[in-house]
Amino acid sequence: MMNGLVVGIPTETVYGLAGNALNEDAAIQIFSVKNRPHFDPLIVHTHSITEIEKYVTAVPDKARLLMQHFMPGALTLLLKKKGMIPDIITSGLDTVAIRIPNHPLTLQLLRALPFPVAAPSANPFGYISPTTAAHVFEQLHDKIPYILDGGATTVGVESTIVGFEGEEAVVYRLGGLAIEEIEAVIGKTTINVNAASNPKTPGMLKSHYAPVKRLIFDNKTELDRLKASKEKVGIICFNKYIDGPDKNAQVLLSSRGDLEEAAKHLFAAMRTLDAGDADVIYAIRFPEEGLGRAINDRLMRASFRE
Ligand code: AMP
Ligand code: MG
């Protein structure tokens, strides 16, 4: 990474495609390896709150509280950036998205490097995010020189993104830190994750995190049609199987009904079904609480087709 190279790194959320966040050439490489449009800004990763303060001009009180409670962790804050963060990283916005990943190997790496690291998910733009080093290898091995293998990710969905309008916090992406946890620290918080037409927040693109196969999300009419048809369907369930279809074609994300465990297994299950012999993937809706919200958000975007 010292020479503007980009490499695969583990985090607790998903694997990242990492490069020097202060080096424009590294950023250009990241966009090109991912085939990511330049209007989609990158998240900067560093190892301490003191480091974050080097790259931002101000920290609102609620941001400070969130940092103290949840960093390192699956929380990204949008803060006003200093000039040393290149415009290409933020797609020209005056805020930078910044977080401290909670992964021992990556924290060690970040402490050893003399710069912060930009690291979007290590997958081609729009596809399912990688949660193992093998996922990264399958898709990017001919494009990057190195993947740091830190095992399967423990959280399994991307970070929760929180920005600020004045002193007020706004959640722009549901993710690995539950809203309930955020609200326990800073009180009732606005959620604005559906501005798909807003080019400022492309992580909110309607269609994202998608398998190649068609994915149908929580649609009883379609499910009945599929049960009656000859199409082979692979099914993503929470803790119990759907009546009817062969159980071998169904994946339980958490047999003990734990939403954190379900989030951890979500993307790998989507990949397995995408690679298997199903013609179409069906996913149930998860409970709208805790990480269930982030799971439903990803499944909804995965199901969307332009
Ligand atoms: P990821 O694909 O996990 O690296 O997340 C990147 C996402 O973070 C983008 O798609 C945006 O939604 C969001 N993001 C990054 N930087 C900013 C920013 N400065 N302002 C608003 N959203 C941002
Ligand atoms: Mg991504």
Answer whether 96 contacts ligand 1 (Cβ < 6 A). yes
Answer whether 43 contacts ligand 1 (Cβ < 6 A). yes
On the question of pLDDT at 303 being above 60, the answer is: yes
- Confidence (pLDDT) at 199: 47
What does the pLDDT average to over 65-74?
A: 98
Per the model's pLDDT, the better-predicted residue between 203 and 91 turns out to be 91
- Confidence (pLDDT) at 202: 52
* CA atoms of 41 and 120, how far apart (whole Å): 9
Closest protein CA for atom 2 of ligand 1: 120
- Confidence (pLDDT) at 227: 92
CA of 92 to the centre of ligand 1 (A): 12
User: What are the structure tokens assigned to 278, written together?
Assistant: 């199903």
- Confidence (pLDDT) at 201: 56
**CATH 3.60.10.10 is the classification of domain 215-303:** no
288 Cβ contact list (under 8 Å, min separation 6): 296
Answer whether 11 contacts ligand 1 (Cβ < 6 A). no
Answer whether 201 contacts ligand 1 (Cβ < 6 A). yes
- High-pLDDT (> 70) share of the chain, %: 95
120 burial type by CB count under 10 A (0-12 exposed, 13-18 middle, 19+ buried): buried
- Confidence (pLDDT) at 255: 97
∠ CA 155-180-191, nearest 5°, is 95
Please, what is the average pLDDT of the chain?
94
Query: Which amino acid, residue 185?
Result: V
Contact 211, 272 (CB under 8 A): no
What is the atom index within ligand 1 of the atom nearest the CA of 173?
Answer: 12
On the question of pLDDT at 306 being above 70, the answer is: no
- Confidence (pLDDT) at 1: 75
* CA atoms of 239 and 193, how far apart (whole Å): 27
Tell me how crowded residue 27 is: count the other CB atoms within 10 A of its CB. 23
Per the model's pLDDT, the better-predicted residue between 206 and 169 turns out to be 169
CA of 78 to the centre of ligand 1 (A): 9
Answer whether 118 contacts ligand 1 (Cβ < 6 A). no
On the question of pLDDT at 198 being above 50, the answer is: no
262-295 pLDDT, tens digit per residue, is: 999 999 999 999 999 999 999 999 999 999 999 9
Per the model's pLDDT, the better-predicted residue between 304 and 95 turns out to be 95
What ligand is nearest to the CA atom of residue 93? 1
* CA atoms of 84 and 78, how far apart (whole Å): 16
Domain ranges of the chain: 2-191, 215-303
Fold of the CATH domain 2-191: DHBP synthase (3.90.870)
* CA atoms of 50 and 172, how far apart (whole Å): 24
48 burial type by CB count under 10 A (0-12 exposed, 13-18 middle, 19+ buried): middle
User: What are the structure tokens assigned to 292, written together?
Assistant: 């269930």
What ligand is nearest to the CA atom of residue 208? 2
- Confidence (pLDDT) at 3: 75
125 burial type by CB count under 10 A (0-12 exposed, 13-18 middle, 19+ buried): middle
Closest protein CA for atom 4 of ligand 1: 120
What does the pLDDT average to over 133-159?
A: 97
Contact 17, 38 (CB under 8 A): no
On the question of pLDDT at 100 being above 60, the answer is: yes
- Confidence (pLDDT) at 197: 44
208-246 pLDDT, tens digit per residue, is: 778 999 999 999 999 999 999 999 999 999 999 999 899
Counting every residue written for the chain, the total comes to: 306
- Select from 31, 34, 43 the residue to mutate for testing ligand 1; criterion: most ligand atoms less than 8 Å from CB: 43
Answer whether 78 contacts ligand 1 (Cβ < 6 A). yes
- Confidence (pLDDT) at 195: 60
Answer whether 121 contacts ligand 1 (Cβ < 6 A). yes
What does the pLDDT average to over 128-139?
A: 97
